[in-house]
Each structure stands twice: as C-alpha cells, then as structure tokens.
Structure 1
Amino acid sequence: MAFYKYKNNLKEFVPYVLLVILIYIFSSLGMWQLDRAKEKKEALATFNASEGYELINENSSFEIYKKIKAAGQYDDSRQIIIDNIIREDGIGQMIITPFRISKSSKIILVNRGWIKKKLGSFPNINELEQSVIEIRGLSGILPKVTIRDQEAFEQNADWPLIGSYPTFKEIENKLGEPVFPFVLLLDQKEKNGFQRNWDPKISGPATNYGYAVQWFLMCFCSILFLIYRIKKYFF
C-alpha cells in the first residue's frame, strides 16, 4: 500500500515538472531568437558600413560581411569547384581558389563567384595572374546544406577538385596547409571573377523579434498556469 501511495504522489507532481520544463524551453527559445536578431543586426550593419578594407593578417578574426583585402598570389593549380549550387539562372558551380597571403602561413579561400553548369564540359577557371596582387571583397562562409548526402570529395581525384559542400576542415585536409576559417567573397569590381551577388540572404531582425515575443508569451502563459495549479491544489 505504501508503494502505491508513493507512486500516486509522484504522479501528482508530474504536471508541475512538465510545466517547469516547458517554461525553461520557451524562455530559452525566446532568448535564442533575441540572440539571432542581434547577430542579423550586426551582420547587416557590417555589410552596410562605409569603412575601408581591412588587410588580412595571420591573426585576423572572422566577422561576416566585413570588408577585407589580401595581398599575395592565387594558387590556381589547386582549385575547388563546389557543384550543384542553385541560383535563379539554374544549376551551377561556385569556384573556390586558394590565395597564398604574403607573410602568412595561412591560405585564404577566395570565392570567385558562380558559373552556370554545362553538361559535358569543364569550366575554364585557370587563367589567373601569378604575380603578387591585392584583392578585395567581403568575409563570408562556404556554401552549405543542412544534410549532405555524399562525401565532400571523391577519393584520389585530381585538381581541380569537384566538391559537394565541403567544410573548411575538409578543404584544409586536401590542401595540407592551414586555411582561414572564412572566405573572401571577391568584390564585383575585381577581375578574375564570375557571377557575384553577395547581398545578405537574410531577413531583418524584426522576424526574430516577432518569434521571441511568441516564445516569451508561451513562457508567461505556462508560468500563470503553474501558479494557478499550485494555488488550487496546495492552498
């Protein structure tokens, strides 16, 4: 009898525990949306900033859509073609070219833009200057997907490599040299590029503020319901 009484007492507390868990989840989701809104606000502010281009060095940190420049040489012998990138014009490829920065042990990956995919033909991407030059653009990330259904690269493939949404680490392993954890999105005014449109593909922070309000309202309602149950059954 004592066991069943203890078991029934535990059952009485289950709804309260669940409500506390829901309160924690809703409040956490609300705070996460506020953080996302802050990130978007900062990214848009950086993209629209009028300051000059910052020269990349060994210790440069990443801030998305920051204006950056690099001095060095293209390594056109080890390029990467990221396959099956969909744009309004159809299915295409992103051309990623390593750029060896002067006075640095790291390589920065340069996204030279998008080209439309032509069946049965290989894109001509190797006509690049080999002298020391300066290039400009924005800091960004590699194209990525939520779920990748295949390996980034085929085994024992020759350069240029055709890749399926590779990560920085996977590219670094192929190059055998350290790379910066961001790419240089080549400016439209720079030569040696293809189709480039680097406008942020993100909604404004207002969307996230709206979601945050919804989560906090659900959190508030859960708190009220918890208070109601406590008053009803314990007082």
Structure 2
Amino acid sequence: MRIKLFGRHFGIHKLWLLITVTAFIILSKLGYWQLQRAEEKALQINQLQQLQQQGALNWQQLAVLTAAEADGVLFAGEGRWLKPFVWLLDNQIVDGKVGYDVIIPVQSTAKSRPLLVNLGWVAAGIDRTKLPELKIPEQLQLRGLIRSKVGGFRLGPNTEAEGWPQRIQQPELAQMADQLPVSSYPFLLYQQAASPFLPHYQAVVMPPEKHHGYAFQWFMLAIAVVAVAIAAARRSGRENEQK
C-alpha cells in the first residue's frame, strides 16, 4: 500500500503497520504506568513523613491501633525477647552479600502481647546446612518503623526446618503468630536504632525520580519505533518511485 503525504510517497505494509502501532501502544502504556507508580511512591513518602512527624508511639499507644492504623508509624520502647523463638528470613542481600534478617518476638512484660521485630541482617555461611550463630540480648531498646504490609510471593513451603532458629522464605505474620504461646500484633517492627545486627530496611526502595526516568525511556522508545517505521516507509516509497 502506498500513500502520498506532504508531497512525499510512503510505502506501507499492513503487517508492519500493525506491529508498529501495537509496539507504540505497549511502550506508551508502560511509560504511563511508570508515571502512575511515581505518583504512588510520592504519596507513600508523604504519608510516611506525616506519620513520623507525630513522633514515636509507646506500648500503650500501640495496643489500641489496628494493623492499617499502625502501618508507617514510629515506635519506641523497651522489651524482652520471648525465647526461644527466632526466624531467619532467607535470601537477604546487603552490599552484595547473602544473609538473613533476624526476626524475634519482643514483649513489654512477661504476659503482654508480643511484637514481631526485624532486628536486621546477619551474613550467611558458605554451608547452608549451618545457620549463623546469633547473640540476641534478652533486653532490647526498640526504635523503628512499623509495617503491616509485609511478605510477598513465594514458591513451596515457607519454613525449611523445625526447631529454633527457623529459616523462612517470607515473613507471614499470621503463620508466625500461630507458633507463639501468646498472640502477637499483626504487624512487624523494623529496628532502626542500635541492634546486634545490621538494620537495612527501606520503606520506599525506588524513589519517584527513578520511575520518572523509566517513564522517559519508555516514551522515547515509543517515539523511536514510530520514527523508524516512518523512515522505512519513506524509503520504500522512494524505491517504488524509481521503479
């Protein structure tokens, strides 16, 4: 198929036209999706900042919050490790090294509701059959960020061994709570203060600026696809004119 536009002839193949239009639509949608993600991240950051400006909550204030209300708040308090429960969250990479996040339940008093706490990262050994030796103090000063939306997709069973410490693939809070003698809070504290391990949690991994950058790349690719198609059609038109 040939068309004349602005005094120039363009040779258009229907199949290539369909491919070009499809690619342009897909790339444009990916660009808009990244813009939407940037807006979501900006809103999330703003919400976290507003919550943290309110200051850290204590045990009494924490006790009256639902999981949704507690998500994103700061918490500070002293607690005692509920022995012997320790979960090692597998496949955590820090500075290019593989290790575990150490999660324990902490109580304000001997009979109080425990709070699950991610104390931070510890390196894994070369032999996966041997878990790292952990030195967890009985008394801890907690200060960190509470999140109720944790965990993610996994394949296979969550736990790989019985006894303690226990290696897990995802922090499934309900499942972890069922293993305790006392029901725990339905959220997880990420320790940010002094810890026997390495705190590394980031509430927002990819900032809005990166999403804007990815959106720009997708839009440029969409424009490039159209430009290449137009150039190819123009070349085909010139060749037909010469015949």
Query: Cα deviation per residue 1:58-105 (whole Å; 9 max; x = unaligned)?
Result: 435357654223565431321211233222162211110112356x97
Residues in 2 aligned to 1:123 and 1:139: alpha-carbon distance in whole angstroms: 23
Q: Which amino acid is 2:211 matched to? A: N
State the match for 2:124 in structure 1: 117
Runs of 4+ displaced beyond 6 Å: 21-31, 213-219
State the match for 1:37 in structure 2: 38
SS in 1 for 2:76: strand
Residues in 1 aligned to 2:179 and 2:221: alpha-carbon distance in whole angstroms: 48
State the match for 1:204 in structure 2: 207
State the match for 1:108 in structure 2: 115
Cα drift, residue 208 of structure 1: 3.0
Q: Which amino acid is 1:95 matched to? A: V
Residues in 1 aligned to 2:218 and 2:96: alpha-carbon distance in whole angstroms: 38
Residues in 2 aligned to 1:35 and 1:74: alpha-carbon distance in whole angstroms: 42
Query: Cα deviation per residue 1:145-167 (whole Å; 9 max; x = unaligned)?
Result: x543x311136x11232222242
SS in 1 for 2:200: coil
Query: 2:158 aligned with 1:152, yes or no?
Result: yes
State the match for 2:99 in structure 1: 92
SS in 2 for 1:207: helix
Query: Cα deviation per residue 1:193-232 (whole Å; 9 max; x = unaligned)?
Result: 311133456232133345567889999xxxxxxxxxxxxx
Residues in 2 aligned to 1:84 and 1:206: alpha-carbon distance in whole angstroms: 27
2:138 pairs with one of 99, 110, 128? 128
Query: Cα deviation per residue 1:163-199 (whole Å; 9 max; x = unaligned)?
Result: 222422332333363532x31111223xx53111334
Residues in 2 aligned to 1:168 and 1:73: alpha-carbon distance in whole angstroms: 19
- Mind listing any 5+ residue stretches in structure 1 that lack a counterpart? 1-20, 220-235
Cα drift, residue 106 of structure 1: 5.2
SS in 2 for 1:197: coil
2:146 pairs with one of 130, 134, 139? 139
When Rg is computed on C-alpha atoms for both structures, the one with the higher figure is: 2
Residues in 2 aligned to 1:211 and 1:63: alpha-carbon distance in whole angstroms: 32
Q: Which amino acid is 1:87 matched to? A: V
SS in 2 for 1:165: coil
Residues in 2 aligned to 1:168 and 1:24: alpha-carbon distance in whole angstroms: 41
Residues in 1 aligned to 2:196 and 2:151: alpha-carbon distance in whole angstroms: 17
State the match for 2:232 in structure 1: none
TM-score by length of 1: 0.60
Query: What number of residue pairs does the alignment pair up?
Result: 206
State the match for 2:86 in structure 1: 79
CA contact (8 A) 1:139 1:185 kept: yes
SS in 1 for 2:201: coil
Cα drift, residue 117 of structure 1: 1.8
Q: Which amino acid is 1:53 matched to? A: A
